[in-house]
Amino acid sequence: MLFKFSQCQATPWKNGLGSTFQRYIWPLDADLDNFDVRISMARVQTNGPFSIFKGIDRHLSLLEGNGLRLTFTDNSATNKPSASRPAIDLSQTSRPYAFKGEWSINSELIGSLVLDFNVMVRRGKYQAVVTQCQLLTGHFPALQGDLMVLFLADAEYQDETSKHYSIAQYDLLAVSSDIIRQWSFNQMTPVIIIQLLNCAN
């Protein structure tokens, strides 16, 4: 199933300080308080704190912009920086950064606004493995779990039935590894792959 970026609508952040494009949520009728899986993108235009999501594991990637600095605070009323965790600078070349939704984090733009990509799963129900790679014909690995693939550039491919398709930048595809291994891409295609592993299995 293909989720087109062009069809996404912006929704408010949980903390009310910005907006986000929700790409996928499970269960389908869930909201910000009871989801098990949520995948989103956001344009960050100002410095400020992250929303707190208790019981949630998060993975953050940077898609556009110069960078984003994450500073961890001690969760006290003083809101002082935490000595136990040094600041993290994210760029477009950084690996997806995994952290807990309970952590108190402030973000600071490094330069202009950024576009980020966020994967959140409820701890104990799902585990997410998020990797960024170049998709090559015949070289897609055999992966476990349900797969979501975010295309970082426009792509042209031929599927397992020899039909030709086009995918636009930032379209999100739900697909099995067995199927996508049979596709032929016209050129090397940068993607972010999200493996969703059900902890009950």
Residues pairing with 173 in the sheet: 2, 149
Is the C-alpha dihedral spanning 131, 165, 8, 17 positive or negative? positive
pLDDT tens sequence across 96-122:
999 999 999 999 999 888 999 999 999
pLDDT tens sequence across 80-99:
555 567 889 999 999 999 99
Cα 79 to its chain centre, rounded Å, is 27
The predicted pLDDT at position 76 comes to: 45
Q: Using 50, 70 and 90 to split pLDDT, how confident is the model at 48?
A: confident
Q: Using 50, 70 and 90 to split pLDDT, how confident is the model at 142?
A: confident
Q: CA 51 to CA 95: how far, in whole Å? A: 21
Q: Using 50, 70 and 90 to split pLDDT, how confident is the model at 135?
A: confident
For the chain, helix, strand, coil in percent to 5 are: 5, 50, 45
